[in-house]
Structure 1
Amino acid sequence: MGRSWIFILITVLTVSNGFKILGILPTGGRSHDIIGAAFMRALAAAGHEVTIITPYPAKNPPPNYHQIELTGMLELKKQNEVNMFDYQGSGPLAFTIMLIILYEMFPAITCEYVLKHPNVVNLLNSNEKFDAVLVETFISESLYGFAQHFNAPLITFSAFGNSMWTADLVGAPLPLSELVHFWDRFLYTVFDYVDKAYYKWRYLPAQKRLYDSAFPNAKLSFEQQLRNVSLVFLNQHFSVNVPMPYPPNMVEVGGIQVDDPKPLPEDLQKYLDESTDGIIYFCMGSNVKSIDFPETKRQAFLKAFAKLKQRVLWKFENDTLPNQPPNVMIKPWMPQNDILAHPNVKLFITHGGLLGVTESMYHGKPMVGIPIYGDQTTNVEKAVKAGYAVLLDYNELSEATIYQAIDTVLGDPAYGRNAMQMSKRFRDKPMTPKELAVYWVEYVIRYRGAPHLRSPVMDLTLLQQGSIDVHALLVVIILSIIVINLYITKILWLKLVKRKVSLDSQKKRS
């Protein structure tokens, strides 16, 4: 009893000296919420008083972790739920089409929903004060107005790494030059222009209308707020991604959601411990659901799994699965990080979402990747290039291709060794991602938004950013020099010709 009171006293004293931080997680996507909640839990553990707007309230939060639930959002999301296999596709065209769909849908079903939610309206009408506002950057620009409303520095985070949405906030370059093949660079450049045009001329005006309506007293306009972001966190790490040049207020915290493994439920612990031939963990994430696999592809998995000596843990969103082999266990939800940490797990079959790929790599598990949409193909291709994964095309799924992919990875020890090497490289950091995130949030608050971190690029026009005006002047100067030289050459040539004609005439007369 005495120790409990001491713990409560320490917590209260710590919180009283901490900062007040508001976190806004608007997407309704479970994987996105996991990343955002990881930031807020880390800040709460560091002694700060956090308030989080989320559709996924945590159970038994600590006293300094306050939650404003977006009630009804998950039900709305379920009503609009689609079969993600219908959006299967990779390449720049498929990616651009997906972005345009998001641009059209998300402002209404996320931003507008958040801004008009009674619980959020109560917060906006309260006398609350915050030292910083943390918002996920995922089609959520109108929500940056919370920083204006509470007169606090704005910090954003990306759940999947760097993109146009994050790079433009701090003036970071985002070159496509890391793509080796010319046609890859050509196609991605073309569709990048399409994306930017749609984003600027169609999407941002819709977000501006929401911003102006919800925050009429904002000191900064919508455009000004977009250029006044104090800090951007990226859920990636240079050990895995292509190294990129970042300004100091763009910080990589890849793996922030990875916690120390917790004890597994008794049935799972027993199932894994007794799997002497190893475990294959199969999960298609939170948005892509295994239950939505077409029947032919689902049966292909079952037939391939039946041939294996290993046991299979399959995250399957139902309690029953027809033709389920005896070596397969299904559950609608599984503690993924804790499962991947188990030494008997030998392979992870995944859709290639960044969270799963990161957790698999952190624990040194090789993969078979079946990307469906978005960044999943890129994530799996990076793992293939690093030598710890095999990419399995969704359109080519069959009993034979599934079995072959599994046999390739499990039959070659190099995949496991490469996975462990990547794990070692990824973990080798001076600070954990959580410690790094806490440090930089505190830094921004201590220095009142840390404007000294802001790149001067943010105050330049597009012409100035690309030095197009300078290059144009250089072209004019070079062309002028060429024209002048041509003119002088012409004059000299005409004089020489005239002189030659004169000399010839003189010779004829003589």
Structure 2
Amino acid sequence: MSWRVSCRMSWLWCWLLAGLTLCHAGSGSNILMITMGGTKSHKIPFWALGRALVKRGHRITFVNGFQADFHVDGLEEVAPQRLVQYIANYTDWDLVGARYTGHAPLSMADAMRYPIEACNSLLNDPATQRLLGNGTWPGHAQYQLAIVDGAYPECALGIVHRLNVTAFIYINTVAFYTGSVSLAGNPVAYAVTPHVFGTWTLPMDFLQRVANCLTHVIADLLHWLCMQRVHRLLRHHLGEDVPHPYVLGRDVSFILQNSHPSVRYPSAHLPNVAEVACLHCRRAAVNLSQLDVELSGFMEAAPDGVIYLSMGSSVRSARLPARLCELFVAVFARLPQQHVLWTWAGNASEQLPQLPANVLVRPWLPQQDILGHRRLRLFITHGGLLSQHEAVFHGVPLLVLPVFCDHDANAAQAQRHGYARQLQLAHLDEEALYCAIYDVLHNDGYRRAVRRRRALIHDQLATPLRQAVYWTEYVIRHKGAKHLQHPGRHMR
């Protein structure tokens, strides 16, 4: 074959591949995403997957209880105002203050009313009624797939059912929550499955297994009672023929589980479950000074590294007890060799008037760019799952001060793995906090343990995000992937 013919063939292949790419981009599916999560962190895995799917030519409608922070072409956020207002009122809490004084951050009654009242707010909202009335969001065709948060999915499942969406999958945002996984037919043995609201880790002794089993049984009973009321709501708003939420949940096509053996423990899963912990994680900025000169300079100027403190989106900085703020300030003043970055969304000049020179307070900080910075030595956190995953992804030891929900379970597991130390907020004093910080900074065992975990989570056939995209498109291609569902999931 001559050189000229070879060149023509090469150009032909290039045009063919370009054409196939354009065809792929133009043949994307319409996807509905819904999260009923009451904290903004629930949106983060959806954002990550949604942006990746948009790049693949899919069109996303994302329903959630928070106003959009940015715009992405192809990803339209719908924030029903009644749900937004309900979540804002419900979460006007003092979680840290309650834990600091030795009280439960959230009563059982408050926890049980959330899925009921949030569902009622969502279904009563004009935006939701518009979605249901049209069968899709204006400008979007019929949905081929729904992606639903595995935390409080029941109301969303009613909407998915009424819209006649072909299939749905879960993003199980809370790794230790096993309810949605169990409904799909996965084995969840109570004796060896630590409950999301417990502090037990594997292996458990006999008494711990008994307590864990009782916790599971009681939680299941309370959840069943709650779901009876949710079902009545669904039938009232969506029609008497809407099945029970448990029946709807058993038909999940696939589950993207926000966990991995490197950050949790090995679990027995069916073929329609993929573990995608760190779905949202990314590499840190190579040159932080290009993003923020002041922040970069502050970190580089630290004589002996940087400490980063962030208590997550669920904690209101302005509601932190004054005594606890004074405690942090006093401890940081005793660490002049370290610089401290502190995420504080309140009025720092009024609430933190005597900050030492080695502390920089900002209402928002680029967390993953900080965690991946070579000067960072310690992350003080509330124990949120995404923060824990990011710390492992970037190889940073933790000091965890659990607040509520799954924070205690996450902290216990991280401590078991050796890369975190846990302190209880209840009656925390200055000396205990200082000694814990000093220990993590100077005991190299924490850093070795987290680097081991970092190596494990990076050593996969594909990144968690690529896996999530693959399985999402797999379910679309195979019209719900019924062949992956357990045939005994509806047995009683």
Q: For residues 356 and 476 of structure 2, what CA distance do their matches in structure 1 show? A: 56
Give the letter for the 2:305 counterpart: G
Counterpart amino acid of residue 404 in structure 2: Y
1:501 aligned partner: none
Mapping 1:66-465, distance limit 5 Å: 66-71=76-81, 73-80=83-90, 81-88=92-99, 101-108=110-117, 110-128=118-136, 129-151=142-164, 152-175=166-189, 176-177=191-192, 178-200=202-224, 202-216=225-239, 222-262=245-285, 263=288, 264-308=291-335, 309-318=337-346, 319-320=348-349, 321-461=352-492
Alignment CA distance shift 1:223-1:138 (3 Å): closer
Structure 2 contact 150–174 (Cα < 8 Å) conserved: no
* 1:11 Cα deviation after fit: 9.3
Q: How many residues align?
A: 450
Shift of 1:210: 2.1
Amino acid at match of 1:126: N
Q: Hey, which of these two has a bigger chunk of helix by percent?
A: 1
Residues 160 and 60 of structure 1: CA distance in aligned 2, closer, same or farther (over 3 Å): closer
- Confirm or deny: 8 A CA contact 1:161 1:235 kept in the other structure: yes
Relative distance call for 1:79 and 1:59 in structure 2 (3 A) is: closer
Letter in 2 for 1:334: L
Alpha-carbon distance in 2 for matches of 1:17, 1:448: 15
Identity, in percent, stands at 29
Greater relative contact order structure (CA < 8 Å, 6+ sep): 2
1:189-234 C-alpha deviation (Å, 9 max, x unpaired): 122211111211x211111112223332867554431221111221
One-letter amino acid of the structure 1 residue matched with residue 204 of structure 2: V
Distance 1:325 1:432 in 2: 41
Question: CA, structure 1 residues 55+460, in 2 after alignment: closer, same or farther (shift >3 Å)?
Answer: closer
Please give the alpha-carbon distance, in whole angstroms, between the structure 2 residues aligned to 1:221 and 1:393. Answer: 39
- Which structure has the greater CA radius of gyration? 1
Unaligned runs of 5+ in 2: 1-18, 137-141, 193-201
- Equivalent residue, structure 1, for 2:198: none
Work out which of the residue numbers 40, 55, 64 in structure 1 matches 2:74: 64
Q: How well do the aligned residues superpose, as a CA RMSD in angstroms?
A: 2.6
Q: Deviations over 1:175-201 (max 9, x none)?
A: 23244222211112122211111211x
Deviations 1:462-502 (A, max 9, x none): xxxxxxxxxxxxxxxxxxxxxxxxxxxxxxxxxxxxxxxxx
Counterpart-to-counterpart distance in 2, 1:99 and 1:453: 36
Shift of residue 361 of structure 1? Answer: 0.9
Residue type of the partner of 1:85? V
Cα deviations by residue, 1:332-355 (Å, 9 ceiling, x for unpaired): 222211211111111001111111
SS of aligned partner of 1:457: coil
Which of structure 1's runs of 4+ aligned residues deviate more than 6 A?
Answer: 9-12
**Normalising by the residue count of structure 2, what TM-score does the alignment of the two structures yield?**
0.85
| Paired amino acid for 2:436 | A
The answer for unaligned runs of 5 or more in structure 1 is 1-8, 462-510
Secondary structure of 2:78's match?
strand
